[in-house]
């Protein structure tokens, strides 16, 4: 192969690879990106029930119940404007407690509840997910102790 | 006084960097040899001053000097000594000071030890290093001064996040920083070469040890970080595609590509423009990594108390560095002459394929990591998680591993297809055998797991092919390095596929004395008792596990720990390692009937993941030693000839 051709070929191969990667990534993003909901979002627009999504907010005070199977908990996620009941089977993460921020990964049920496969609680009690801080401020609850960072 | 001295040393180091940049630029432009000659000693002074500043910060932490804001915020007088020491960089300001200290010391190292590179390129390289360092000095003294006093002093500190109180994690961030800084040095070499247009094998050989070193540290950092997440988070997983993990993976991918292309440049004088581009990309990724972690732009399990206002400063730095690098590349690359041509079926061709596939994976990870940030800017909240990354990068990574089995067997310049097919029969046969066996044995395994195990077998055998018909004692050390690193990839892949295909998991509400089963193990919770540690108290489960085919019982002690300062409770997983896997137990909460939540995993061959990572790093180290000693010898021979 001549030098000029080789450079051209390598350039085209690189472009093709970058194009292919972007195409693959963007098409996969269409069905794999998980949307983020707050309880207020759920109240105003009906959420998708067939896709994994994230639900974020505060764990309502006094809402955590342990179900009789011993491994499932039920609690309520709130952003001080709306509420969503959540069920989770598993060991709740460190720092998961009432009055703290939580992000639940899972699916909405047709009945308007949420079944979480995974709970994320922040590993720093001073920290709050920016989404929640923003949305809580927007919901007029920016003055709660944890709502202002 | 110590804090003031530390700040003064930092200012002087910044002044040295400015002097270094100015004398390099003027010396090269005006062809003033006296000015250019000042660059080396100034670079050494910069390194010494930055190191002094960092050493003084460590002393402040060791003394628990609560009149310093940073110490009061991040340390505690009752903390174990190791974590007082590590606390110096376990926070934003300290870690930035560590970053610039390593960078300055690397610059001093180049000034003292680099002898092969022509003088102008070396001066330009040190000028570029000073330019990068200046941005970080400005960031430190303007936006994140680690030596700020607190008046009146605090009575005691606020403590360090308990999750970070772990010996492995104390050294995890510095390891990654060594990697990031190494890539910025490689980038400085690329800038130097672009300025003087001396892009060739000599430049490649000068840059290679820094790329290798950076790559070794990144490999160790990622492997250790993965194991930390595995045992500390208690979720049973070893990689979460968390943005902060991606921030360390992306520079590694770029460094891996650069490591392979720089060999083509050094050995065959090919891929000149491409190697320069990769050096720019690798540096950009390490800056992006620092930016992502330090700016607070990410929602992440790793995002420890961050301050978003600093993000804009780092963003500006990022724009200047990457924009400047790309502009210089655009202006200069047209004048870089094309290197030596080669056939597609050749070692060079194989390395080009390696580079393309690594770049594609890098591109996908980059898009997946940045997409949520862009979407958020456009008013949409979403997250991109493991399903996306596994589905997109998995098949490409498997293709890359398949190419890795063939690549090292190829000859430079050109090779014959028949010869390659012949050499590939044994590895291909092994792959077919393992694939078929896995397919029959594990009927619910996915195609990626089955193919992964087959390819792991093929690469494990093929990685030793370069030794075929060679005198083992006369095989160069860097060839051994390649063999060990490639074998490590096979080992790690086998661990990933086995863990993914064969893990068994149980979640139970355990009553005392009642047996539960996970994999081949019979598990009994005998009791739960309180225990006390240095700065924590805990409840500890006493769990015995007996294998169904007999053997001595194992005791597992998963804990729920409570730290007083800062007030936190954490789950401490208990892990027992066997030759063929790990048993993993996490204790949850107690319910009203007195049952304890117990989560159990049996993970066959999961340890191979990190063992393979260690082998990859070891291979890199062998290669680095081999390269450096050969360079030393050739320099000595040249000096003797003169």
The residues near B8 (Cβ < 8 Å, ≥ 6 apart) are none
Per-residue pLDDT reduced to its tens digit, A50-104: 778 888 888 888 888 888 887 888 999 988 888 899 999 888 876 787 887 888 8
Question: ∠ CA B259-A12-B279 to the nearest 5 degrees?
Answer: 25
The residues near B632 (Cβ < 8 Å, ≥ 6 apart) are none
- Answer yes or no: do A28 and B392 touch at CB < 8 A: yes
Single out the residue of B169, B219, B258, B209 nearest to residue B618, CA to CA: B219
Q: What's chain B's Rg over C-alpha atoms?
A: 26
The pLDDT of residue B162 is 67
Mind telling me how many Å the CA of A111 is from chain B's nearest CA? Answer: 23
DSSP string for B569-584: EEEE-EEEEETTEEEE
Residues of each annotated binding site of A for heme: 123, 127
Is the Cβ–Cβ distance between B354 and B407 less than 8 Å?
yes
By Cβ distance, the residue of B308, B364, B570 closest to A24 is B364
What is residue B146's DSSP assignment? T
- Answer yes or no: do A92 and B305 touch at CB < 8 A: no
Single out the residue of B364, B361, B362 nearest to residue B397, CA to CA: B361
- Answer yes or no: do B392 and A24 touch at CB < 8 A: yes
- CB atoms < 10 A from the CB of A117, how many? 12
pLDDT over threshold 70, residue A147: no
DSSP string for B183-242: HHHHHHHHHHHHHHT--SHHHHHHHHHHHHHHHHHHHHHHHHHHHHHHHHS-SS-S----
- Residue B431 CA from chain centroid, whole number: 30
**For range B371-389, the mean pLDDT:** 80
The pLDDT of residue B51 is 96
Residue A95: closest CA among chain B residues belongs to which residue? Answer: B569
The pLDDT of residue B383 is 79
User: B471 or A141, which is more confident?
Assistant: B471
Is the Cβ–Cβ distance between B540 and B558 less than 8 Å?
yes
Is the Cβ–Cβ distance between B240 and B389 less than 8 Å?
no
Per-residue pLDDT reduced to its tens digit, B302-347: 443 345 566 677 778 888 988 988 898 888 887 777 777 788 788 8
Is the Cβ–Cβ distance between B405 and B459 less than 8 Å?
yes
Question: ∠ CA B208-B103-B477 to the nearest 5 degrees?
Answer: 25
- Answer yes or no: do B341 and A94 touch at CB < 8 A: no
Is the Cβ–Cβ distance between B510 and A69 less than 8 Å?
no
The residues with which B575 forms a beta bridge, in sequence order, are B584
By Cβ distance, the residue of A20, A34, A70 closest to B360 is A20
Beta strands at A83-89 and A114-120: parallel, antiparallel or unpaired = parallel
Is the Cβ–Cβ distance between B291 and B322 less than 8 Å?
no
Per-residue pLDDT reduced to its tens digit, B128-144: 999 999 999 998 998 88
Beta strands at A34-37 and A53-59: parallel, antiparallel or unpaired = parallel
What percentage of chain B exceeds 90 in pLDDT? 43
CATH H-level superfamily of A36-138: Nucleic acid-binding proteins (2.40.50.140)
- CB atoms < 10 A from the CB of A56, how many? 26
The residues near B148 (Cβ < 8 Å, ≥ 6 apart) are B68, B69, B70
The pLDDT of residue B548 is 84
- CA separation for the pair B418, B11 (Å, rounded): 64
Q: Measured between CB atoms, does B471 come within 8 Å of chain A?
A: no
- CA separation for the pair B95, B121 (Å, rounded): 30
Mind telling me how many Å the CA of B363 is from chain A's nearest CA? Answer: 6
Mind telling me how many Å the CA of A70 is from chain B's nearest CA? Answer: 5
- B18, with CB counted inside 10 A (0-12, 13-18, 19+), is middle
Per-residue pLDDT reduced to its tens digit, B542-595: 999 999 887 888 999 999 888 876 677 778 899 999 989 999 999 988 877 888
The pLDDT of residue B299 is 46
By Cβ distance, the residue of A25, A69, A71 closest to B363 is A25
- B335, with CB counted inside 10 A (0-12, 13-18, 19+), is exposed
- CB atoms < 10 A from the CB of B593, how many? 10
User: B98 or A1, which is more confident?
Assistant: B98
The tokens describing A94, both together, are 């460190």
> What's the pLDDT band for B613 if we cut at 50, 70, 90?
very high
pLDDT over threshold 80, residue A136: no
What is residue B415's DSSP assignment? -
The pLDDT of residue B445 is 83
Residue B352: closest CA among chain A residues belongs to which residue? Answer: A10
- Residue B471 CA from chain centroid, whole number: 34
The pLDDT of residue B48 is 96
The pLDDT of residue A38 is 83
- Answer yes or no: do B508 and A4 touch at CB < 8 A: no
- CA separation for the pair B132, A17 (Å, rounded): 31
pLDDT over threshold 80, residue A137: no
Q: What's chain A's Rg over C-alpha atoms?
A: 21
What is residue B337's DSSP assignment? P
Q: Measured between CB atoms, does B388 come within 8 Å of chain A?
A: yes
The pLDDT of residue B642 is 75
The pLDDT of residue A124 is 44
- Answer yes or no: do B507 and A89 touch at CB < 8 A: yes
* Residues of A whose CB is below 8 A from B388: 28-29, 32-33
The pLDDT of residue A14 is 80
pLDDT over threshold 50, residue A142: no
Distances from the Cα of B88 to the Cα of B52, B295, B409, B552, angstroms: 14, 19, 47, 44
Per-residue pLDDT reduced to its tens digit, B4-44: 999 999 999 999 999 999 999 998 888 877 888 889 999 99
pLDDT over threshold 60, residue B106: yes
The residues with which A65 forms a beta bridge, in sequence order, are A74
Q: Measured between CB atoms, does B508 come within 8 Å of chain A?
A: yes
Among A138-142, B268-272, B378-382, the range with the most confident prediction by mean pLDDT is: B268-272
Among A138-142, B220-224, B334-338, the range with the most confident prediction by mean pLDDT is: B220-224
Is the Cβ–Cβ distance between B441 and B425 less than 8 Å?
no
Per-residue pLDDT reduced to its tens digit, B158-199: 766 666 667 766 788 889 889 999 999 999 999 999 888 888
* Residues of A whose CB is below 8 A from B344: 1
User: B132 or B641, which is more confident?
Assistant: B132
Distances from the Cα of B149 to the Cα of B5, B68, B87, B152, B384, angstroms: 12, 4, 17, 9, 41
pLDDT over threshold 90, residue B603: yes
Mutate to test the interface with B, among A11, A30, A33 (most CBs of B within 10 A): A33
Average pLDDT, chain B: 87
The tokens describing A56, both together, are 């974020």
């Amino acid at each position: 192969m001549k030098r000029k051709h080789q450079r051209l070929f390598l350039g085209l191969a690189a472009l093709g690879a970058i194009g292919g990667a972007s195409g693959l990534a963007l098409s996969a993003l269409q069905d794999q990106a998980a949307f983020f909901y707050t309880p207020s979002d759920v109240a105003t627009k009906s959420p998708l029930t067939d896709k994994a999504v994230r639900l974020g907010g505060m764990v309502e005070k006094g809402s955590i119940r342990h179900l009789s199977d011993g491994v499932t908990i039920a609690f309520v996620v709130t952003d001080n404007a709306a509420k969503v009941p959540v069920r989770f089977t598993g060991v709740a993460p460190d720092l998961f407690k009432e009055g703290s921020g939580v992000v639940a990964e899972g699916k909405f049920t047709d009945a308007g509840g949420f079944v979480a496969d995974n709970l994320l609680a922040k590993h720093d009690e001073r920290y709050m997910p920016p989404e929640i801080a923003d949305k809580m401020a927007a919901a007029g609850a920016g003055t709660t102790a944890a709502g202002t960072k | 006084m110590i804090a003031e001295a530390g700040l003064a040393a930092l200012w002087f180091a910044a002044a040295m960097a400015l002097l270094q940049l100015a004398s390099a630029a003027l010396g090269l432009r005006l062809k003033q040899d006296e000015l250019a000659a000042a660059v080396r000693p100034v670079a050494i002074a910069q390194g010494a001053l930055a190191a002094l500043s960092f050493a003084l910060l460590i002393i402040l932490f060791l003394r628990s000097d609560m009149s310093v804001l940073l110490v009061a915020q991040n340390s505690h007088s009752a903390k174990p000594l190791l974590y007082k020491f590590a606390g110096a960089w376990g926070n934003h300001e300290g870690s930035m000071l560590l970053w610039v200290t390593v960078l300055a010391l690397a610059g001093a190292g180049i000034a003292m030890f680099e002898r092969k590179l022509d003088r102008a390129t070396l001066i330009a390289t040190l000028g570029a290093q000073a330019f990068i360092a200046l941005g970080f000095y400005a960031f430190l003294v303007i936006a994140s001064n680690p030596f700020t006093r607190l008046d009146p002093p605090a009575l005691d500190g606020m403590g360090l996040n308990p999750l970070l109180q772990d010996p492995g994690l104390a050294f995890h961030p510095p390891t990654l920083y060594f990697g990031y800084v190494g890539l910025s040095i490689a980038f400085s070499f690329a800038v130097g070469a672009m300025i003087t247009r001396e892009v060739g094998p000599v430049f490649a050989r000068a840059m290679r040890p820094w790329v290798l070193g950076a790559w070794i540290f990144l490999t160790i950092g990622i492997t250790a970080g993965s194991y930390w997440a595995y045992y500390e988070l208690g979720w049973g997983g070893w990689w979460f595609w968390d943005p902060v993990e991606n921030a360390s993976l992306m520079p590694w991918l770029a460094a891996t590509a650069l490591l392979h292309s720089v060999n083509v440049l050094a050995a065959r004088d090919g891929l000149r423009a491409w190697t320069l581009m990769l050096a720019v990309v690798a540096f950009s990724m390490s800056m992006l990594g620092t930016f992502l972690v330090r700016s607070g732009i990410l929602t992440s399990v790793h995002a420890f108390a961050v301050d978003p206002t600093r993000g804009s400063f780092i963003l500006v730095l990022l724009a200047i560095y990457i924009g400047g690098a790309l502009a210089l590349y655009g202006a200069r690359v047209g004048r870089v002459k094309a290197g030596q041509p080669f056939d597609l079926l050749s070692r060079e061709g194989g390395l080009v394929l390696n580079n393309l596939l690594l770049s594609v994976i890098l591109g996908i990870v980059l898009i997946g990591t940045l997409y949520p940030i862009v979407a958020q800017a456009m008013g949409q909240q979403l997250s991109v998680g493991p399903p996306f990354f596994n589905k997109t990068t998995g098949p490409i990574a498997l293709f890359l591993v398949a190419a890795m089995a063939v690549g090292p067997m190829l000859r430079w310049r050109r090779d014959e297809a028949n010869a390659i097919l012949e050499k590939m029969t044994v590895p291909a046969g092994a792959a077919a055998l393992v694939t078929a066996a896995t397919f029959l044995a594990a009927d619910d395994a996915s195609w990626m797991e089955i193919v992964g195990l087959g390819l792991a077998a093929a690469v494990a055998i093929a990685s030793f092919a370069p030794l075929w018909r060679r005198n083992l004692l006369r095989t160069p050390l860097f060839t051994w390095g390649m063999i060990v690193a490639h074998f490590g990839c096979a080992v790690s892949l086998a661990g990933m596929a086995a863990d993914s295909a064969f893990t068994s998991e149980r979640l139970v509400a355990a009553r005392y004395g009642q047996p539960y089963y996970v994999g081949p193990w019979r598990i009994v919770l005998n009791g739960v008792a309180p225990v006390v540690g240095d700065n924590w108290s805990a409840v500890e489960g006493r769990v015995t596990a007996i294998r169904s085919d007999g053997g001595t019982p194992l005791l597992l002690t998963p804990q729920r720990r409570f730290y007083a300062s800062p007030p936190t409770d954490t789950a401490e997983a208990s892990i027992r390692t066997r030759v063929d896997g790990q048993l993993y137990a996490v204790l949850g909460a107690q319910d009203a009937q007195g049952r304890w939540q117990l989560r159990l995993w049996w993970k066959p061959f999961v340890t191979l993941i990190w063992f393979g990572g260690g082998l990859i790093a070891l291979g890199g180290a062998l290669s680095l030693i081999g390269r450096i000693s050969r360079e030393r010898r050739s320099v000595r021979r040249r000096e003797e000839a003169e």
